[in-house]
Amino acid sequence: MAKPKLPTLRQKLKRVTVLLILFIVATTVLTLRFDTAADDGAPEPNNLRHSRVTAAEDAALAHIPRSVVDTWSRREYLIVLGIPSTDDEERRTRRNLQRTTCWRFPGVATRANDFTGAMLVLYVLGRHPSHGYDYSAALLEEAAQWQDVVALPMNEGRVSSTKKAGVGGEIGTEAEIGLSQKVYMWFDLALRLFPTARYISKGDDDMFLRVPLFVALLRLLPRRRIYMGVHCGGNIWANGRSVGVHFMVGWCYTMSRDVAEALVSFKPLRRLAYTPYSKERDEEFSSIGMGHEDMMVGHVLLEEVKYQPLIHVKVLPCHFLQARSDTGESQVVPTSMCVHHIREDDYAALMARFGNDTSPVARLWRVSEDVIYPSCD
């Protein structure tokens, strides 16, 4: 019986080559499948791998000259502050009042100083229903003048007719969810647009911010794991039950860069942030706290992504406060840093009071590894 012919070296190498090619093809296919699955079914431009992310960013910056965006890229801001606002005269007045008072403190980067400073402030708007879900001529003129308007490719929710600037009150479910979407888009955009910014904040257009004291405080904080604001507790309705949530109140809260990255990484929020509002989806939006943007942020950070260890910087009423008590009396004190729900004539009055104090001293009181209080002294 003839002996079986053993494969030659050339035949062995050929077989190894074929197997190697098959392995590479199989690995490539699996990688592509996992990349597709990683999108979590999110609608465009939610998928960061998709070219429409660039298109959405271009749309948001449509009213910012390219030269300004290039200037921003050369700056290293300590903090970028996004202020959600709306395309109407009442809110336009508020924006202009901030621009001509507290954004004139030293350290604020504006068009007037070629965007040089520790803090850059941008106004974040969507397309308003009163203008047929388009941007008004007045907004386009405002954007050209100040070069600080981010025009998100999203529609604003309809605001309750009873809500007025400078006072408390509900803005309505559709508007609240729209605001939550806008807040997500702001943090997502800011992280990509300002890769060296150490902190990212969200504020209101009916607040006065004492910028030198605010910046002095930030310079004392750790660079990572920071979640700062007025600490509060509440409840959201999720999956048929009430769920407790701790959060920083929405007038002005700040996250270090890594915390903001954790927030925008949560896929269910990313998907819903780009899902148009419909009443039929109220429960889905509410399940992660999107009925209140500040609660949403706290819930996602603490209960969903469970970002640990998170350092809570709890700002006391000596620094962050409502402008007036329930009886209408002023609550502003010498240590005030952020004054909320102010009237139109308060902006100039507060600037007259605090405008010359451009080198205040900030102090911290660290009570534990995960809790810091700015000192009231």
Which residues does 256 contact at the CB level (< 8 Å), separation at least 6?
Answer: 198, 199, 221, 222, 223, 224, 225, 226, 227
Q: With a threshold of 0.95, does the pTM exceed it? A: no
> How many domains would you assign to the chain?
1
pLDDT at 12: 53
pLDDT at 17: 60
Its sign, for the CA torsion 92, 94, 100, 106, is negative
Which residues does 121 contact at the CB level (< 8 Å), separation at least 6?
Answer: 80, 81, 83, 98, 103, 108, 109, 110, 148
Please report whether residue 3 resides in a domain: no
Please report whether residue 19 resides in a domain: no
Which residues does 279 contact at the CB level (< 8 Å), separation at least 6?
Answer: 173
Task: Let me know: does 207 contact 230? Beta carbons within 8 Å.
Answer: no
Query: How distant, in Å, are the alpha carbons of 87, 245, 338 from that of 373?
Result: 36, 20, 15
Contacts 24+ apart (CB under 8 A), 211-214: 211/102, 211/103, 211/105, 211/106, 211/107, 211/108, 211/119, 212/105, 212/106, 212/107, 212/357, 212/358, 212/359, 212/360, 213/319, 213/337, 213/357, 213/360, 213/362, 214/119, 214/337, 214/338
Task: Let me know: does 371 contact 312? Beta carbons within 8 Å.
Answer: yes
Task: Let me know: does 114 contact 76? Beta carbons within 8 Å.
Answer: no
Please report whether residue 11 resides in a domain: no
Task: Let me know: does 316 contact 337? Beta carbons within 8 Å.
Answer: no
Residue with tokens 């062995």: 12
Please report whether residue 6 resides in a domain: no
Per the omega criterion (within 30 degrees of 0), is the bond before 4 cis? Answer: no
Provide the token pair at 118: 């520790």
Task: Let me know: does 106 contact 358? Beta carbons within 8 Å.
Answer: yes
Which residues does 118 contact at the CB level (< 8 Å), separation at least 6?
Answer: 77, 78, 79, 107, 108, 109, 215
pLDDT at 371: 98
Strand partners, 247: 232
Nearest CA among 201, 211, 288, 297 for reference residue 253: 201
How long is the chain? 377
Q: How far apart are CA 346 and CA 208, in angstroms?
A: 8
Q: 13: part of which helix (H) or strand (E)?
A: helix 9-37
pLDDT at 31: 42
Please report whether residue 178 resides in a domain: yes
Q: Residue 257: which CATH number?
A: 3.90.550.50
DSSP 50: S
pLDDT at 168: 54
pLDDT at 26: 54
Q: 155: part of which helix (H) or strand (E)?
A: strand 149-155
Q: What is the pLDDT along the chain (377 residues), one digit of tens a residue?
A: 555 555 565 555 566 565 555 555 455 444 444 343 344 444 444 554 455 567 778 889 999 999 999 999 999 999 999 999 999 999 999 999 999 999 999 999 999 999 999 999 999 999 998 898 999 999 999 999 999 999 998 888 766 545 455 555 566 788 899 999 999 999 999 999 999 999 999 999 999 999 999 999 999 999 999 999 999 999 988 777 889 999 999 999 999 999 999 999 999 999 999 998 888 898 899 999 999 999 999 999 999 999 999 999 999 999 999 999 999 999 999 999 999 999 999 999 999 999 999 999 999 999 999 999 999 98
**Enclosing domain of residue 115:** 52-374
Q: How far apart are CA 133 and CA 249, in angstroms?
A: 29
Please report whether residue 306 resides in a domain: yes
Please report whether residue 351 resides in a domain: yes
pLDDT at 51: 56
Q: How far apart are CA 21 and CA 27, in angstroms?
A: 10
